[in-house]
Copies of this chain bind each other. A is one copy, B any other.
Amino acid sequence: MSEDLPRHARLTRLVAGLPPTVPFVGPEVQERERGAPFKARIGANESVFGPSPRAVKALREAAAEIWKYGDSTSHDLRHALAREMGVEAGNIVVGEGIDGLLGYLVRMMIEPGDAVVTSDGAYPTFNYHVAGYAGRLEKVAYRDDREDLPALIGRAREVGAKLLYFANPDNPMGTWWRGAEVAGMLDELPRGCLLVLDEAYIEFAPEGTAVPVEAGDPRVIRLRTFSKAHGMAGARVGYAVGERALIAQFEKIRNHFGMNRAAQAGALAALEDGDWLGHVRARVAEARDEIARIAAENGLSAIPSATNFVAVDCGGDGALARRVLTGLVARGVFVRMPFVAPADRCIRVSCGTERDLAALAEALPGALREARQG
């Protein structure tokens, strides 16, 4: 018997056959491997500008009450979100980040062999969940650095997809579609295909990027998070908005007491602090400009972004960009890069503080020089 399989536990055929892949290697893992902390943590699209001070206060106040399980229905947060979005609480489920909700959604919908459409090089954690339930991933190339929604819909029709994953704005390129354009294409979506609209970065996007569809529209499930603009990635709070009858299905399988109690309180406080959100948006806009400036200063170009990160085109192929990334990491600057060509000609830099971006500016010329030497 192989040493790599448990000696007594009988795994499902599906799990036994899964590869031991991990969607992302975290920055702490990299820091332990390199034996030193990063100078700039601008690789995971976290919000270095932090959460609202009100959220921090709420988290601190909740600490002594952490002996209590969190509210199993996330009642207060869910109702506040419903008011904010102008929908009913029954249209919303709160979960353990978008990652957790994507896992539940895939479990609800995908049997082995079911077709799922996504963009080639889009969010790997979604793909991880689809593979984990033996869905058949159908990948559509980006076009002009954007997810190609008409082609995605066309592929969904061809293969009879149950799910179509579409992030707007997109990750890892930061590009976007106007919401009205997306809404205008929904009638083309084949019946029996649910559009999984990942709006993790929507708060950073220009007015008009959010897709104007009713919460009750049965064709779309919308995913949002407190991990990005609200600066609470470590809290694990996401939510899904959709048709009541679809949202109700999560109740059959979700981990009812899975939400951290303090995280619920923190998210509620963050939601109520519109001023902080405005402040973060402004800082992110400045940082995007600064990243573009640093890129230009080094003869590189930045892809216009509607997110809190910028894809910087290193001007060569994936191997060149990989060497640039390696050079930056070696210099203490944590960044990531797209996985798939031609997007992998870029490195992906999250919006940082002035100090973070100064570290980038300092490290990039040397990393580029080395990378070009091959």
Which A residues have a C-beta under 8 Å from some C-beta of B?
Answer: 3-15, 18-26, 28-29, 32, 41, 44, 46-51, 55-56, 59-60, 62-73, 75, 96-97, 99-100, 103, 107-111, 125, 132, 162, 191-194, 218-219, 221, 227, 231-236, 243, 245-246, 248-249, 251-253, 255-263, 266
Among residues of B, the one whose C-beta sits closest to the C-beta of A163 is B9
The reply to whether A67 and B97 contact each other, CB–CB distance below 8 Å, is: no
Pair A258/B68 contact, Cβ less than 8 Å:
no
**Could you tell me if A63 and B59 are in contact, using CB atoms closer than 8 angstroms?**
yes
**A11 surroundings in chain B (CB, below 8 A):** 108-109, 249
A65, chain B: closest CB distance, angstroms: 7
Query: For A249, what are the chain B residues with a Cβ–Cβ distance below 8 Å?
Result: 6, 9, 11, 15
A22 CB contact (under 8 Å) in B8, B44, B72, B107: B72
Among B6, B20, B221, B232, contact of A67 (Cβ-Cβ < 8 Å)? B232
Contact B243 A12 (CB under 8 A): no
Instruction: Give A50 to B66 CA distance when docked, in angstroms.
Output: 7
Is there contact, CB below 8 Å, between A15 and B60? no
A192 vs B22: C-alpha distance when bound (angstroms)? 28
**Do B253 and A236 touch (CB < 8 A)?**
no
- A233–B68 CB distance below 8 A: yes
Main SS at interface, chain A: loop
Is B7 within 8 A of A234, CB to CB? no
Bound form: Cα–Cα A8–B21 in Å? 32
Q: What are 11 A-to-B residue pairs whose CB atoms are below 8 Å?
A: A4-B248, A6-B218, A6-B245, A8-B219, A9-B162, A9-B249, A29-B71, A51-B64, A59-B63, A132-B252, A262-B262
A67 to B266: give the CA distance in the assembly, Å: 12
Given contacts A22-B72, A97-B258, 20 further A-B contacts (CB under 8 A): A5-B245, A6-B218, A8-B219, A9-B221, A9-B246, A18-B252, A26-B71, A26-B257, A28-B73, A32-B75, A46-B69, A50-B67, A51-B64, A51-B66, A51-B67, A69-B234, A100-B255, A125-B257, A233-B261, A260-B260
Residues of B within 8 A of A252 (CB): 15, 18-21, 132
Q: Which of B63, B72, B235 contacts A29 (CB 8 A)?
A: B72
Looking at the complex, which one of B56, B66, B72, B96 makes contact with A64 (CB distance below 8 Å)?
A: B56
Q: In the bound complex, what is the Cα–Cα distance between A253 and B192 (angstroms)?
A: 27
Residue of B at shortest CB range from A28?
B71
Partner of A70, one of B25, B111, B234: B234
In the bound complex, how far is the Cα of B63 from the Cα of A76, in angstroms?
20
Nearest CB in chain B: distance from A102 CB, A: 9
Of B4, B10, B62, which is within 8 A of A192 by CB? B10
Q: In the assembly, what is the distance between CA of A28 and CA of B59, in Å?
A: 19
